Copies of this chain bind each other. A is one copy, B any other.
Amino acid sequence: MTSLASARGEVLLSEKKFYTFAHPPDLFTLESGVRFGPITVAYETWGELNREKDNAILVLHALTGDSHATGKYHPDDRKEGWWAGAIGPGLALDTDKYFIICSNVLGGCQGTTGPSSINPATGKPYGMSFPVITIRDMVRVQRELLRHLGIEHLRMVIGGSMGGMQALEWIVNFPDMMDKAVVIAVSARMSAQGIAYNLVGRRAIMNDPNWNNGDYYDKEPPRNGLALARMIGMITYQCAESMEMKFGREINCEKEEDLFRMDSRFEVENYLYYQGDALVRRFDANSYLYLCKAMDLYDVARGYESLVDAFSRVQAETLVIGISSDILFPTYQQKEIVQALRAAGKKVYYEEIKSPYGHDAFLIEYDKLNPIIKRFLEK
């Protein structure tokens, strides 16, 4: 498959592969101390690993992302992977030069072991018996995947949002494993406001009677709850300006008096309903709960005396990117990362993308993002 990556003009093809480890009794010890296994990791790769094995880049996905970061599984697929604008021949993460790896996170629902996976001990999905996991656990699982792929050193780790959390955990916990790191639109620890947003998303799911304490895999899933969690999330991924630009107060009423119906819908409402429904078709509600909890627990400094102390371990050169209109991870949080890395005496660069698109800009503004990443990577 990977040889197609360099065929300019052709479709970049993807194949989802799997690696399973931590078979009993050799279980994987989570940050919580819980021993857990087996763990299957779903991953995809593009480009070719060179003979020196020094051209690998690990791409880290956000909350509802997956291993399908770019390309198509089949030439007829309607959509490409979630970061197709950044990963491909001639792009910032150039598949002609680099071996790009992306895996679905632990706790996810796109092939990697998560709450919807079958617990081999019971023959039933884990549901809420799945252990609470952390961003650090996700990263340690990725480390096992790289070992399996024979990769002992990465050219770079890169991710935005929850992917950025993973990138920071990578440079702190496996400091000699990479030359560079790109950390986009994230903080060094989840903020109180971020925890609050995640809480209301989780409550939306748990309030849905179909959630049934996580036991719904042979029943009707909590569609309304997960859709509402997504609608809440989508507001925080944008900003006042981008929503005003896109939707304003547009409303589609056949008759003027329809405006005054409780079920009249402004365009922004139609959009949120659409986004909620779209997520329900591809995502597991319990995974949403576990991944949000992992984000809440995220604090790169946990186990260290301070953030600067944690960062004193770092060996990678780091590029931190903020988005001017991000309301979920405002730019002061990226500047805090930069200051702490500097205080620890590390090489760090900061770039701010001026964008009206809010947090989601890292999935939209390729014209601004690609040159910054390319310059940093090839410097």
A interface with B by C-beta (< 8 Å): 30-34, 128, 131-132, 134, 189-193, 195-197, 199-200, 203-204, 207-209, 224-225, 228, 231-232, 234-235, 238-240, 243-244, 246-249, 257, 259-262, 266, 268-269, 272, 289-290, 293, 296-297, 299, 327, 330
Contacts A240-B330, A243-B191, A262-B132 given; does A196 touch B228 at CB 8 Å = no
Partner of A200, one of B33, B191, B193, B231: B231
A207 contacts which chain B residues (CB < 8 A)? 204, 207-208, 224-225, 228
Q: Which residue of B lies closest to A245 (CB)?
A: B192
A199 contacts which chain B residues (CB < 8 A)? 231, 268-269, 272
Shortest Cβ distance from residue A222 to the other chain B in the assembled complex, whole angstroms = 9
Contact B272 A200 (CB under 8 A): yes
Contact B31 A196 (CB under 8 A): no
Shortest Cβ distance from residue A77 to the other chain B in the assembled complex, whole angstroms = 31
Shortest Cβ distance from residue A257 to the other chain B in the assembled complex, whole angstroms = 6
A224 contacts which chain B residues (CB < 8 A)? 203, 207
Contact A243 B132 (CB under 8 A): no
Partner of A192, one of B30, B225, B234, B248: B248
A203 contacts which chain B residues (CB < 8 A)? 224, 228, 231
Shortest Cβ distance from residue A210 to the other chain B in the assembled complex, whole angstroms = 10
Partner of A268, one of B195, B261, B297: B195
Contact B32 A257 (CB under 8 A): yes
